[in-house]
Amino acid sequence: MGKHVVVGSGQVGTHLAAKLMAQGHEVVVVTRSGSGPAGAVKVAADVADRARLTEVTKGADVLYNCVNPKYHRWLTDWPPMAASFLGAAEATGAVYVMLGNLYPYGPVSVPMTEDLPLASTSPKAQVRARMWADALAAHRAGRIRATEVRGSDYFGPGATDQSYMGDRFLVPLRAGKTIQLVWPADMPHSWTYLPDVADALVVAGSDERAWGRPWHVPTAEPLTFRQLGERLAALLGRPAPRMTQLPWPVVRAAGLFSPMIGEMRHIRYQFVAPYVLDSSAFQSTFGVAPTPIAQALKATLDG
């Protein structure tokens, strides 16, 4: 069994560490606070400290970037951390697996595939696009082995309050109360199941066919907020939940007082038109399918 370094212990890093430990690997979890799941070696470190991250990564087979800075801090926090990850991967020889997202594609009118250009004009999305471009350039130059795994909005056990399918949705649903939505209730949207994200990261780190290109996490067919609410309510034996949408001017006004809410204007396009992820490349290459939606929703409620 090998050594795997997972940087970040949020909603994805925790699932990833657990899956790697279940396979018998030595797992080192790196966070600023030194937190992490039971059974892992926990290390407190500043991820932007290249020398420290390199020291921790020595002897590792794979280095996973599962860090998730606050969205409004991407422009300041990501560049030094990205440089640190590249330096550590090059110095140690560990495969570098990046947890990416769909923001760099920008608004699109077709299902998203990995060959779409990273054409977003948003400065924050461009930061993420530059991270992948730099890693890919280093891979092609033979300095590192790298890949990026991208998913849509997350749901599942352990989803944080940043998830639109987290407590802000599930708590009122369980209580039989009206669910307040920021976005339209009837727009098709792709949702990526957290354990499937972790599984995809494991594959990407261990199968050399994954290196040198990005991949989309196996993701089920898109569902609207209303369809998700109906299916979850049925599993609970409840009637379909009521839903209301907050007026956009109200959301914009709230953003004057909350940096995170204020950033929603940058991603509004993802929810006011169909937003569909095509994961067929990963599924056909590695023979991995997304968890059936009924099973995933039940686990979400149980979790």
For the chain, domains (ranges, CATH) are: 3-152+193-216 (3.40.50.720), 161-190+221-302 (3.40.50.720)
Instruction: Enumerate the β-bridge partners of residue 146.
Output: 96
pLDDT of residue 248: 78
Q: What is the pLDDT of residue 303?
A: 81
The confidence score (pLDDT) of residue 79 equals: 97
H or E element at residue 214: strand 214-216
* pLDDT for the residue numbered 145: 98
Amino acid at 193: Y
What was the pLDDT predicted at 186? 98
pLDDT by residue, tens only, the chain of 303 residues: 899 999 999 999 999 999 999 999 999 999 999 999 999 999 999 999 999 999 999 999 999 999 989 888 999 999 999 999 999 999 999 999 999 999 999 999 999 999 999 999 999 999 999 999 999 999 999 999 999 999 999 999 989 877 899 899 999 999 999 999 999 999 999 999 999 999 999 999 999 999 999 999 999 999 999 999 999 999 999 999 999 998 878 767 776 677 767 777 888 999 999 999 999 999 999 999 999 999 999 999 998
Instruction: Judge contact between 9 and 15, C-beta under 8 A.
Output: no
The three-class DSSP label of residue 141 is coil
pLDDT of residue 34: 94
Cβ pair 24, 59 in contact under 8 A:
no
The confidence score (pLDDT) of residue 234 equals: 97
Instruction: Enter the tokens of residue 201.
Output: 């990261």
Of 55, 103, 84, 68, give the one whose Cα is nearest residue 214.
103
Q: Residues 6 or more apart from 84 whose CB is under 8 A from it?
A: 47, 48, 49, 50, 53
Closest among 26, 129, 10, 117 to 70, alpha carbons compared: 10
**Distance in angstroms (rounded) separating the CA atoms of residues 92 and 74:** 26
pTM of the model: 0.96
